[in-house]
A = this chain, B = another copy of it.
């Protein structure tokens, strides 16, 4: 169990970024929706088929320069089971193009239930005498509020199939501090820092070959100070960094997330890539070209502050 396959993708593309594929219907170009609604009429099937076509176009445009995608489960569930079918098909398509997939589900539950999430999203299950991979992501984001029970059952699945996880530590949203920044009495540290300590302990025996364990952490780009603090405190925890672009953070804010080799983090952008065609006045038919241009701009914005690798 490690995040090594992800890190290798980053090194190969010289790009520590991940494209969030979380399309709301309004993000999808009209010509795609028109075509699919003509075929399926105004149904969740039609919406989900539009999302899949949009995702495939984005993956085609990004797969040689961006190492990973991060589908956000919420936007697939928003389109019902038909959307979840698009999630499975998007993951399969990204794999066929050599991309790593971080399924952003922020799942959490008691042990036996976490096992089901792990097997469903990262592992395989036996159906009669057939082995099937229900969603087959490469890593899953999880919430650690329930403690070790949330994490332990994932380790078996991750070990068996060489998958990884990212635990929420300091999230990118404006109200993340309400709970996460509170000071713990005995530990005299913040909750988010303590969650980092827990991640560190959970990952101890799962060392990968680049110095990072198989248990990463989600740390928001919108909190540069905490990013730097956590990077220094937890040198073996790889960071998934949301909040770049539409949420407000730029390349300079994120530099503290990386180690002195320029590794240690992957930065996500969703809307700014998916909707680049809108922002930069492309013809909507050129959405993929616009996404590629934005992904390159983002890569360069971030890597300019980092040592070459």
Contacts and interface: CB of A to CB of B under 8 A. Distances in A.
Size class of the contact patch on chain A: 35 or more
Given A168-B145, A175-B147, A80 B120 contact: yes
Given A128-B42, A173-B110, A77 B135 contact: yes
A174 B153 CA distance: 13
Nearest to A168: B145
A298 to B, nearest CB: 19
B46 A127 contact: yes
Contacts of A233: none
Given A80-B135, A127-B44, A183-B184, A113 B74 contact: yes
Interface of A: 22, 24-25, 37, 41-44, 46-47, 72, 74-75, 77-85, 87-88, 106-111, 113-114, 116-117, 119-121, 125, 127-130, 132, 134-135, 143-150, 168, 171-180, 182-188, 191, 194-195, 198, 242, 247
Nearest to A148: B175
Given A106-B108, A145-B143, A168-B145, A120 B78 contact: yes
Contact of A74 (B116, B145, B148): B116
28 contacts: A25-B127, A37-B127, A42-B127, A43-B132, A44-B134, A72-B109, A74-B107, A74-B113, A74-B117, A75-B116, A77-B121, A78-B125, A78-B134, A80-B88, A80-B132, A83-B134, A84-B84, A110-B172, A111-B174, A143-B143, A146-B176, A146-B180, A147-B177, A149-B175, A178-B198, A179-B195, A183-B185, A185-B188
Given A77-B117, A80-B84, A149 B134 contact: no
